[in-house]
Amino acid sequence: MSRIGDYVKQERKKLGLTQEEFAMRTGLGLRFVRDLEQGKETVRMDKVNQALALFDCEAVPGRKERRI
């Protein structure tokens, strides 16, 4: 989940938004935004997609990266 969290954080900062402003614009809670950006692995995917929608993106199934 940290790749998505890193992406959200990077894109949010590009827009010049604080976490609080991002939460308000996406309709998400501040706690969720913080958890997402910190890479918490148990976040709800519907909320992840709600966050990504601000950037015209969505999380879709794909192959898991192998960690060697």
pLDDT for the residue 64:
78
Quick one: CATH architecture of 2-55? Orthogonal Bundle (1.10)
| Helices vs strands, H then E, count in the chain | 4, 0
pLDDT for the residue 1:
54
Domain positions in the chain: 2-55
Sign of the dihedral through C-alpha 51, 56, 62, 65: negative
What pTM does this model have?
A: 0.86
Condensed to tens digits (0 to 9), the pLDDT of residues 23-38 reads 999 999 999 999 999 9
